[in-house]
Every structure is written in C-alpha cells, then in structure tokens.
Amino acid sequence: MAKVDGPLFSLEAKGKIGDAIVFFPWKGRHAVRRWLKPTNPRDIDQKLVRQKMASFGKCLKAISTPSATLVNGADIVVTVKALTPAAQIWNAYLVKIGMQDLYADGAWTAMMAGVAATDVSNGWVSAAEALGLTTLPSTADGYASDIPAYHQLVAAAYSCWKMGASLCAVDMSVNPSEMVLADVTLFASAFTVAH
C-alpha cells in the first residue's frame, strides 16, 4: 500500500477511481492502493467454519456477566483470562484454541459423536438447557446444518481442556467425550459461579 501526501493535488482524497485504485485515510495519513473486489465465499466449507465459530459465540453468551455476586465474572471467565496470553482477548483465545482442532468438519463430527455415544450425553443436553443455550438453526445465515445446544457447551469444554484450565474442581485433564456426569455438571456451573 502506498502512502501519499496531497493525493490528486488536494489535501485529501477518499474513494475509488474506476476499478483501479482506492484513496483512503489510514492511521492519520492519506493512502492509496489497488482496488480489490471484496469476496464473501458461501461454499459449504466456509459455511461449516462460520457455523462452528457461531456455536462458540452462542456458548460464550451464556457466561454470566459481572454482577453483585460475580464481581470479576464467572469462574470460566476468570480462569480463561488467567490462561490467555498477553495482548489477546480471553473470549477470542477460547475460540481460537477450540477451532485449532475442530475447524475441520471431520474432527468436529467425531468429537460430537464421541460425546453423543457416552452415558452422560443427556447430562450435556440438560446442562446446556439449564444455561439457556438453544439450537443454532441451519436457516440462520445459511449454515450447513443445525448445531444443538449441547454441542456449543462441548465446544467450550474442549477449549478449556486444550488450555488445561482448572474450573470449579472439574477434572479438565480429560477430553469432554470422557467426562463423567459430575464433571459435566461442574463444568456447566463454572458459567454461573464465582471463581
């Protein structure tokens, strides 16, 4: 990107000329660059990734915000903030850690199938409902398929497991697909109790 002073013999210029170049302010300076046609792919792979990102986002909305009883936020917030590297945002870090492995549709499907095959799958469903999580429908934003509420909670648990988080005495040293019912219940409580 070129930086210019007095573009087009003026003090400032904004906008594009044809489909060739664009003038715009950037960090207090005048800049010009080649015009690029914006793209927004809507292929199935992109929809699947967006859907997984949205499922993390929906789950994070269930985390209690600071209140009189949760001055610093819920246990999961405090713990993840402590594990987040400097100059990163805790919720973005939680999503990043989970998406590193689960972005591929095969990995996501295998993880969720592993949880569904356990004796505690109903515990995940109950915990997600208690937190107010709802199914992310396929019709929203053209997602590929529905994401059940408990998948959103499992995704957050997976991220915490990958981080090595220690939440409400939950044994986060095991993959969420291997958790026992007591651990699932304690993990869900980390969304609503103080650290």
Q: Is residue 117 part of a domain?
A: yes
**Residue 42: CB partners within 8 Å, gap ≥ 6?**
142
Do 103 and 25 lie in a common domain? no
Q: Of the candidates 96, 70, 100, which has an alpha carbon nearest to the alpha carbon of residue 83?
A: 96
Token pair recorded at residue 41: 């792919």
Q: Is the pLDDT of residue 5 over 70?
A: no
Helix (H) or strand (E) segment spanning residue 30 = strand 29-34
Task: Confirm whether 39 is domain-assigned.
Answer: no
Residue 195 lies in a domain: no
Query: Does the residue 14 lie in any domain?
Result: yes
CB atoms within 10 A of CB 28: 5
What is the percent of the chain with per-residue pLDDT over 70, rounded to a whole number? 84
Instruction: Decide if 76 is inside a domain.
Output: yes
| Cα dihedral across residues 155, 160, 164, 168: positive or negative | negative
Mean pLDDT of 25-36: 84
| pTM for the model | 0.74
Q: Is there a single domain that holds both residue 83 and residue 120?
A: yes
Whether 94 and 156 share a structural domain: yes
Residue in the block written with tokens 């859907």: 51
Q: In terms of residue numbers, what domain contains 15?
A: 2-34
Helix (H/G/I), strand (E/B), else coil: 35:
coil
Same-domain status, 65 and 19: no
DSSP 145: S
Whether 66 and 122 share a structural domain:
yes
Same domain, 108 and 147: yes
Residue 92 lies in a domain: yes
Q: What percent of the chain has pLDDT over 90?
A: 9
| 103 and 80 in a common domain | yes
Q: 139 and 114 in one domain?
A: yes
Are 139 and 76 members of one domain? Answer: yes
Give the count of domains, the chain: 2
Residue 8 belongs to some domain of the structure: yes
Within-domain flag for 179: yes
Please report the pLDDT score of residue 173 as a whole number.
81
- At 18, the pLDDT band (50, 70, 90 cuts) reads confident
> Over 70: is that where the pLDDT of 99 sits?
yes
Cβ neighbours of residue 56 under 8 Å, at least 6 residues apart?
A: 94, 95, 98, 99, 152, 155, 156, 159
15 in helix, strand or coil?
strand
